[in-house]
């Protein structure tokens, strides 16, 4: 039903912005989650009370926490649709991440409380009364959660939503926990072992694990995680495909929420180009990147001497020495200044996080190696840290 509604009323058109469409998809999934989880909670809590089963009651409250999470999901997507304003010039897209984090915390709190109740049940087990209604409720719950897993997963991929992906993972966990509860209810009359309390404990562990995993996935973009390596490589390839470009570096992907990305980078152009031509190249690249990756783009131009063979030779020498220190070290913004007695090499070196050298050690080591090979050269090195992963 949710996918049918989405296909009928949420079709992509040229007059609906991507972010608006994402918000509508998110609110639709959230509303469906509220209705379905509240219904599951009502039926399961009644079944849990009638059967006096701790495991079924725990599963019911798990659905109640899912309903609360769906409410927060709707609020998060609603806030993300707000237009940029004076206080939030980059929009409100990160509210979706915050919503996902709150969902995760609710799941963790629910898991802790259910773990406590399950321990109490193990210490003082109570008899469980089975009925056909109990098995019907649990069976229907598995089917409903399978349906929720399907639509959350499909739409999360369609609109690239971490919040809906978290909801899909939670539905998968719910299916597993309900199946465990169902197995425990089947086993109750055949053993004196407190399977009800054990099943409740297993459910709480699943809930806690799901909450922690979801929290990690929502905290990382809030803290600032490196962009996807494939995206970085695609950006670099697009820039370097231009005939005038010598190189590209300092690629930064600013994430202000799903669908709200800004790219900034430095592009190296021949210093012999006129200022007007360089400006035209940068404008064209900004337009191409913005159109291809659907984001704002800002490019800084670095002039590079490509006509002097001595500059090219020295740059290659320095790059090779840097790579022998650590294969991930790269150089850029390379230029030379000649005096009567010395050749000053001025450049930036990128020290990856996988390197064991601190910035000062890298500066001294690389300068010493270059001077040992070319005694007339002195290095002036600015050490940078990458804003993408080493692979990117």
**Residue 17: pLDDT band with limits 50, 70, 90:** very low
Instruction: Quote the CA–CA distance of 68 and 65 in Å, as a whole number.
Output: 5
pLDDT over threshold 70, residue 62: yes
pLDDT over threshold 50, residue 15: no
Spell out the residues 6+ positions from residue 233 whose beta carbon is closer than 8 angstroms to its own.
Answer: 392
Tens digit of each residue's pLDDT (9 = 90 or more) over 227-244: 888 889 999 999 999 989
- This prediction has a pTM of 0.66
pLDDT over threshold 50, residue 14: no
Summarize the confidence of residues 178-188 as an average pLDDT: 86
Percentage of the chain with pLDDT > 70?
93
Q: What is the pLDDT of residue 54?
A: 80
Task: Report how far apart, in Å, the C-alpha atoms of 66 and of each of 104, 156, 207, 248, 303 are.
Answer: 10, 17, 11, 46, 55
Q: What is the pLDDT of residue 140?
A: 94
Instruction: Quote the CA–CA distance of 251 and 186 in Å, as a whole number.
Output: 58
pLDDT over threshold 60, residue 260: yes
Q: What is the pLDDT of residue 3?
A: 61
Summarize the confidence of residues 118-142 as an average pLDDT: 85
Instruction: Quote the CA–CA distance of 80 and 282 in Å, as a whole number.
Output: 31
SS3 for 351?
coil
């Amino acid at each position: 039903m949710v996918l049918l509604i989405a296909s009928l009323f949420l079709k992509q058109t040229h007059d609906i912005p991507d972010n608006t469409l994402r918000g509508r998809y998110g609110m639709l999934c959230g509303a469906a989650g509220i209705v379905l989880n509240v219904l599951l909670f009502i039926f399961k809590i009644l079944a849990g009370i009638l059967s006096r089963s701790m495991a079924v009651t725990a599963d019911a409250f798990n659905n109640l926490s899912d309903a609360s999470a769906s409410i927060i999901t709707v609020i998060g997507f609603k806030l993300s649709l707000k237009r940029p304003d004076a206080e939030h010039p980059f929009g409100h897209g990160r509210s979706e991440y915050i919503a996902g984090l709150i969902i995760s915390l609710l799941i963790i709190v629910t898991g802790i409380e259910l773990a406590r109740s399950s321990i109490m049940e193990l210490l003082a087990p109570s008899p469980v009364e089975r009925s056909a209604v109990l098995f019907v409720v649990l069976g229907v719950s598995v089917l409903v959660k399978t349906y929720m897993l399907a639509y959350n997963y499909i739409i999360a991929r369609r609109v690239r939503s971490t919040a809906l992906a978290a909801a899909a993972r939670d539905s998968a966990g719910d299916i597993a926990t309900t199946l465990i509860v169902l197995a425990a209810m089947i086993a109750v009359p055949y053993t004196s072992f407190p399977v009800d309390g054990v099943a409740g404990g297993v459910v709480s562990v699943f809930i806690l694990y799901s909450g922690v995993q979801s929290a990690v996935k929502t905290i990382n973009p809030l803290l600032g995680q490196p962009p996807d390596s494939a995206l970085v490589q695609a950006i670099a390839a697009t820039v370097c495909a231009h005939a005038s470009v010598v190189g590209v570096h300092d690629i930064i992907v600013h994430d202000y929420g799903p669908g709200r990305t800004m790219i900034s980078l430095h592009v190296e152009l021949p210093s012999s180009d006129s200022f007007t031509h360089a400006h035209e190249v940068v404008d064209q690249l900004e337009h191409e990147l913005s159109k291809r990756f659907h984001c704002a783009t800002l490019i800084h131009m670095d002039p590079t001497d490509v006509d002097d063979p001595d500059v090219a030779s020295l740059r290659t020498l320095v790059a090779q020495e840097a790579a022998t220190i650590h294969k991930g070290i790269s150089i850029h913004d390379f230029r030379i200044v000649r005096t009567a007695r010395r050749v000053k090499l001025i450049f930036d070196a990128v020290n990856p996080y996988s390197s064991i050298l601190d910035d000062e050690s890298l500066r001294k080591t690389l300068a010493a190696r270059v001077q040992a090979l070319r005694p007339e050269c002195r290095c002036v090195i600015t050490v940078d840290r990458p804003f993408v992963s080493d692979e990117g």
